[in-house]
A and B are shown apart, each in its own frame.
Chain A
Amino acid sequence: MKSPQHDKLSSIESIQECLRHENYICNKKIATTLYLAHHLGKPILVEGPAGVGKTELAKTTASFLDLPLIRMQCYEGLDESKALYEWKYGKQLLYTQILRDKLSDVIAGADGLAESMARLHQYDDIFFSTHFLEPRPLLKALQQDDGAVLLVDEIDKSDDEFEAFLMEILSDFQVSVPEIGTIRAITKPFVFLTSNNTRELSEALKRRCLHLFISLPDPQLEREIIRVRVPDVSEQLNIQLVSFVQQLRELDIKKIPSISETIDWARVLLLLHADKLDPDLVRESLHIILKFEEDIKVAEDNLLEMTGKALKETVR
């Protein structure tokens, strides 16, 4: 099967190029994983610290492949009726009301209860047909003609039962609806699962997926990301702020800043018309990259030293 997406996914380099085109800078590892996922037809399980671009990866993939992104946010208590399908009860009721007259036509002339029943049986499945099926994200993803990008976000937040229920979709790209039968994917969707590792996922789920671990980027990659995401930031400021953030990550703090925080900070500094870091500026805007009072305190203790080091980066 040749789809228009196929060309874009034909080589690792072209994937990397396409992602870059969509303002998503990634290393070769991520591109390789996408390539494998497409050619082996497997879902990707993405793990990594919060804010390294796990969800963003799925979004970007959808936009460069020109496919609809179907997103399902997981939470505790998520079940089939919210994830897969539900019957349109209202519509079923309404139709039975409207068709009540027709009902008497159908049974008219029937002799006795048994015969009316037999006649009704000829129609029994109309109310449980696809017309009355309300597709939820998972089913919707399978029904797309050209395929879709399905993002199952934060799978670790859902229950074990839901995880088990996902298996059928992940391995065979099909779901079973008892009243209708098995629904197969028209085109295999591109599936992303993200996890923040709040609990260990089951072996069975992991086995069915490719496992991608996105770690925090090295300075060079991070600078490039800032350059693409916040293009108006001067090169000098870019180098300094990345160096500062990288130093922050070395400290003993509760929540280390990730890429999204670096990007936010860059935007804020841009708004403040800063073209280089200075200690006061950093102190005032520290709450954008650090989210805990204790962390800010620790950072403030080391602030002068770290800013100095960051400034030195550009002198060299």
Chain B
Amino acid sequence: MEQVLRDFIVALRASGVRISVAESIDAMNAAKLIGYSDRNVLKDSLSVVLAKSYYEKELFDSCFSRFFSFEAFSHEKGNPLDNPSIEQQDGNSLLTQMILAGDTSALAASMREAALDLNVNQMQYFTQKGIYIHRILRHMGQENLRRDIQRLCQEDTEYSREVATMLTNAEDYLLENVRDYVEQQYDLFAGSLEEELLENYLKEIKLSNLEQRDLYRMHAIVHKMVKRLNDIHSKRRRTFRRGQLDFRKTLRSNVANQGMLFDIKWKKKKIDQPNIVAICDVSSSVSAVARFLLIFLYSLNKAIAKIRTFIFCSNLVEVSNIFDDYPVEEAVAKLHSGTGLGVVLGPTDYGQAFRDFHEQWPNIVTNNTTVLILGDARNNYTNPETRLLKAIQQRCKRLIWLNPESPSSWGTGDSEMHRYRPYCHVAKECNTVNHLERVVDSILDR
């Protein structure tokens, strides 16, 4: 039974519940204490020991019911092996005997035994399913069954033909059940490995090539990354509350008290709240990256960073208030369509965008501001207004340009990247979620 529990823990881990070694030992002890007689009590106890949050409890419940299900060879669909007219014969293989006896529980046991011998729980990729199905069948004695069928066919009496048909049907039935079982095991043990693989792949894929179906997965990944960033940076911010004794300051301020150290001063390390101004191109060539950049920025804890957002295409508008009014994802979707925001989705004009920014919001860039520009710098051969970018750069703390194109294509065609480049503190290629995370992390670091 311990082996079963160990397998169960492996399956739980695969489905995303974090279980330490200490906890698995606890689970063993709990199971020993409770016993395996009452399914619900066992489930409750294991859940108390292994799943440590509401979310994990849900995973646990579904995993438990899948793992300890005994659906294989159930009689729900009717039992095709129920054939009392057929009698046992000598010389039949074990599997044939089981089938002829209609002993489904023996079949299920034999299948589980085979699965255990073959280490089905080592299965990693969905391509391995077929192999395992056939290995299990062979282990159960499929070849002997076939030999029996062949022999019966050769005997060629009416009775033997009847038995042979029945056995052939039984073989299909067997295959079906083994397939179900293997799929179930695959879900239990291998599902998350594949998920992990996909996740790593998605982190590196170019956002513009992202398929619609992967979007929701991507959101989950971004949330995970944001949570990590939040954790890192909120911890750092907190340290500013803890001070060391500033002896010089203390002495100086206590001169008035005849040198009694009455009013104690602490060294304080003040960590600035980064002030971010994001200017995003929302034309179709860049929008996929813009979308995730904004999700990133706005999912950050409000205490960590102050953000104002502008979007532009043919002209520039401020959209910070949209993020205040709507939840992040909804707001981003709104920006995507651009309806009702006053942004003209004509040909992209960087010069016009900088002019708008310079005229309408001349004072929001201070020496504490990080300006984040996201765009491909493809200006449709209009005036790039580099002098305005230079003016912004001189006022701000840092100017970061994120370009979804790779550096080799900067400056080709109508790309003005080489002319903007000198005025950026950092100009980076940015087209995967990993790039985005690094950029946001570095902004928060200062």
Contact = CB atoms under 8 A, between A and B. Distances in A.
Interface of A: 12, 28-29, 32-33, 35-36, 39-40, 42, 45, 47, 197, 200, 203, 206-207, 209-213
Contacts of A47: 53-54
Contact of A32 (B29, B44, B51, B52): B44
Most B C-beta atoms less than 10 A away, residue of A32, A39, A47, A200: A32
Contact of A40 (B30, B44, B52, B53): B30
Contacts of B161: none
A132 B355 CA distance: 74
B45 interface: yes
A168 to B, nearest CB: 15
Given A28-B44, A32-B41, A211 B26 contact: no
Interface stretch (B17-25, B82-90, B196-204, B324-332): B17-25
A40 B51 contact: no
Given A12-B41, A36-B30, A47-B54, A210 B49 contact: yes
B34 interface: yes
B333 interface: no
Contacts of A12: 41
B52 A211 contact: yes
B131 interface: no
Contacts of A35: 33
A111 to B, nearest CB: 36
B48 interface: yes
A217 to B, nearest CB: 16
Interface string B35-66: 00000110011011101111001000000000
Interface in B95-123: none
A29 B52 CA distance: 15
Nearest to A48: B54
A206 B20 CA distance: 11
A47 B45 CA distance: 16
A200 B55 CA distance: 12
B54 A213 contact: yes
B41 A40 contact: no
A28 B57 contact: no
Contact of B23 (A33, A197, A207, A213): A207
Contacts of A45: 52
Contacts of B47: 29
The 4 closest A-B pairs by CB, nearest first: A206-B52, A211-B52, A32-B44, A29-B44
A47 B29 CA distance: 23
B48 A212 contact: yes
27 contacts: A12-B41, A28-B40, A28-B44, A29-B48, A32-B41, A32-B44, A32-B45, A32-B48, A36-B30, A36-B48, A40-B26, A40-B29, A42-B26, A45-B52, A47-B54, A200-B53, A203-B20, A203-B52, A206-B53, A207-B23, A209-B52, A210-B48, A210-B49, A211-B48, A211-B49, A212-B48, A213-B57
B303 to A, nearest CB: 13
